[in-house]
Structure 1
């Protein structure tokens, strides 16, 4: 074996280092050239230029907040309509349906993005482009598809914010009146105008990335509410016999159960903005952000619904927090936590309607005035939403129930299924056309949910419900 002196060793080391540097540079250049290869399939995520992108955790928090609203507090009443066993199985099935509907919507959007070399598309843009690239006989409806989706999303989310203002004012009145009874003599609009001030300030947050703390606080407050509600649920639950609860309440309760769970869990309006704010392709798939988030949501919905009805039985109220004892500190904390959660949920829900309006007008405004225009637009829309809350009062919730029944079932199930049919038209629908059959079933269920939701909303408006 030859013996190298110190000089030879240094030279060998230098040569080795330089060789590694050359190899690394060569590999890097190969990677860059591969990325720029025009023959390579177009990947939307490689071309997104997002100023404040969302990571896995941020997207996860937003999705949980999107579907985990105050509607979950009505799920025990839905279990009362269906029964323990039917409610347990049904909630899981509805959750899986909602998850799959989001999957096929995102996949349809990504498919169109690859065909048109577009980095990202919103829900309404996806609907328009899918129809535009679909069968020739349907292409004339492309513009209508976009207008329908945008109109539905705007109506649902903007009115939801008005209902949020009403809900916050009612909750604050109940809390404050325990110590200061005179507040009940105040005009109904007083607290709403007070709430308007912090809403105007917080409503100026524009990026989804910066809304993550808001969603986190809202989720935290809801979890606190669930924890306190769970405490009262488990208190004395051992004395309840399962024979005292209905396992299957009958066919008559299914429409009410289905519409309640679907409308409470559905949050497809903010899904595409969240997906478009990501620059990595781990939104769908397994594992993926969506699957993790929906697993948490389905678990919470099923648990709250099952335990709530099991504990309170036929006395289960429309909102489970109404079953909590009055003038009890933990119960009052739960009421305050719900109010805080709704307040911080306002901004995430507000993102959808303001984004729809801004996308229509921003190109008509000089870029140098975009900042002040955003401030004026957001402030105006928040003031209008508060004005609707003042004018509508507690009856405003009945209006959004009716609009939600029409648009949530349509946008949440029908449209994604319809878009997948069009997107797969040229490629086929799989063995025995199973995807076509599956999507037709989804569309039928969406129609069933819409009809049952409208029916019960009309009964509420007429005052014919319990």
Structure 2
């Protein structure tokens, strides 16, 4: 039976939602915009109360994960970054980069919270947020919604998967740095990587972020102790501040931004952390988990960068641990602890890849999800480690991928998502949000260009045997034998690369053997 309109009202008015307020006899009605039709029809939706998690993560554990994601091995490169910016300028630029990266993570989460209400969902990954923002954004963006999701998913997966391969190389190098010192010869890095395969598979089996929290705590402890020991060496024989330039030449500033952005950036773990929180609304806010974590991270980055450059000046290495005396037990402990911290971090970074891959295939294995999940984790870890074994010189290539993906995914994508999400609400007085996002976009573009340029130059220098190379080149199927650089294999390889004639090759190759026989 139809409801009869109230006295004094038209039939049309009975279908309009009133807000129960009026002034001077005027009745007000709530008219929903196109983007909020679902919310208006179904009532207010609280995504946080509706979220149900089997293993909710506490604020403290979320903060622990965030610190581990941002306090990676990149912090050891901060003295080199300060060398490119100057002692005083480095402080201000580090704060600037941290504010930008934190802001982009912040707007990603706040946009997600807005989209939760509009779509009546309680959780969304980074890629889903991008897709939903396009679908509910301006008309020109809606057709790009499927592409946005696929682009974000592929970009995040490739970046973090290759980063995990790079982590296995970094672990092996840190362990070998100490092992080689005691053995008196260089252990093949591929052997060390292969030995770590089983522990990494077991680490990949950790099912969720709640059970990964202890590993992040251990990693934070290892990194804290190693940074403490490193800091002791930095302040031990500290020169006067006046001995270092306050501001470096502007031509070297892009190098600073490249190092710092890719060291601090952790956009890939932001949404997984938020999605697993029991109180996701506390992730953002003035004193939220995000701001607390990034404030501490920024302070540590400034301290290591400032005092590392002050201590070693122009002689600072790409990783400040390489400046430490390897014969000291404390310096050896630093390398072991850093390797252990990277191992524990592997699980958190790899979780991002597992989450993306599993969400893509879990519907196909509805009846055998547990077995399929463990098989997938095993295969992914095997591939990750085998890439590192096949190409131990992977680090510069990962830097190139990071320069491309983190500039787009970490800086450009969040501001685009914010623009599309709040398109109907506007961009504030004088459109200040547009101006703000334009500035961030310019910085992201410069980071993309100069970061990619630096990575490509490093790759070229590495494979041209340039003294500027930062990574040792190893052939794919095995490291060449070493005999003070004059082994027959080494001489033969160099002769071929230099275009020497066959006769000269034979002569130069046999020369060491002749001298050995005659002696």
Q: Same fold (TM over 0.5)?
A: yes
- Aligned equivalent of 1:293: 293
CA distance in 1: counterparts of 2:107 and 2:260, whole angstroms: 20
- Aligned equivalent of 1:454: 452
- Aligned equivalent of 1:258: 257
CA distance in 2: counterparts of 1:179 and 1:446, whole angstroms: 45
1:178 is paired with a residue of what secondary structure? helix
Alignment of 1:31-110 (within 5 A): 41-110=44-113
Cα deviation for residue 415 of structure 1 reads: 0.5
Indicate if the aligned counterparts of 1:417 and 1:439 stay in contact, CA closer than 8 A. Answer: yes
Structure whose residues are more often helix by fraction:
1
Q: Which of 168, 175, 179 pairs up with 2:178?
A: 175
Q: Does 1:141 align with 2:111?
A: no
Which runs of 5 or more residues in structure 2 are unaligned? 1-40, 470-519
CA distance in 2: counterparts of 1:224 and 1:213, whole angstroms: 17
2:182 is paired with a residue of what secondary structure? coil
- Aligned equivalent of 1:233: 234
Cα-to-partner distance string for 1:289-341 (whole Å, 9 max, x where unaligned) = 11110111000011110111011111111101011112100000000000000
Indicate if the aligned counterparts of 1:200 and 1:379 stay in contact, CA closer than 8 A. Answer: yes
Cα-to-partner distance string for 1:257-276 (whole Å, 9 max, x where unaligned) = 01110000000100100001
Indicate if the aligned counterparts of 2:107 and 2:415 stay in contact, CA closer than 8 A. Answer: yes
- Aligned equivalent of 1:331: 331
Cα deviation for residue 180 of structure 1 reads: 2.8
Indicate if the aligned counterparts of 1:409 and 1:449 stay in contact, CA closer than 8 A. Answer: yes
- Aligned equivalent of 1:31: none
- Aligned equivalent of 1:127: 130
* TM-score in terms of structure 1 length: 0.89
Higher relative contact order (CA 8 A, sep 6+): 1
Aligned length: 424
Cα deviation for residue 366 of structure 1 reads: 2.5
- Aligned equivalent of 2:508: none
Q: Does 1:413 align with 2:411?
A: yes
Moved over 3 A (4+): none
Cα deviation for residue 187 of structure 1 reads: 4.3
CA distance in 2: counterparts of 1:41 and 1:333, whole angstroms: 56
CA distance in 2: counterparts of 1:269 and 1:131, whole angstroms: 19
1:332 is paired with a residue of what secondary structure? helix
Indicate if the aligned counterparts of 1:76 and 1:316 stay in contact, CA closer than 8 A. Answer: yes
Cα deviation for residue 451 of structure 1 reads: 0.3
Cα deviation for residue 39 of structure 1 reads: 7.0
Structure ID, larger Rg? 2
CA distance in 2: counterparts of 1:39 and 1:138, whole angstroms: 26
CA distance in 2: counterparts of 1:286 and 1:68, whole angstroms: 21
Which runs of 5 or more residues in structure 1 are unaligned? 1-37
1:59 is paired with a residue of what secondary structure? helix
Cα-to-partner distance string for 1:380-430 (whole Å, 9 max, x where unaligned) = 00000010001111x200110000000001111111011111112111100
Q: RMSD in angstroms over aligned alpha carbons?
A: 1.4
Go from structure 1 to structure 2 and tell me whether the alpha carbon gap of 1:302 and 1:187 turns closer, same or farther (over 3 Å shift).
closer
Cα deviation for residue 40 of structure 1 reads: 5.7
Indicate if the aligned counterparts of 2:76 and 2:321 stay in contact, CA closer than 8 A. Answer: yes
- Aligned equivalent of 2:312: 312
CA distance in 2: counterparts of 1:262 and 1:42, whole angstroms: 37
Go from structure 1 to structure 2 and tell me whether the alpha carbon gap of 1:100 and 1:373 turns closer, same or farther (over 3 Å shift).
same
Cα deviation for residue 201 of structure 1 reads: 1.1
Indicate if the aligned counterparts of 1:418 and 1:443 stay in contact, CA closer than 8 A. Answer: no
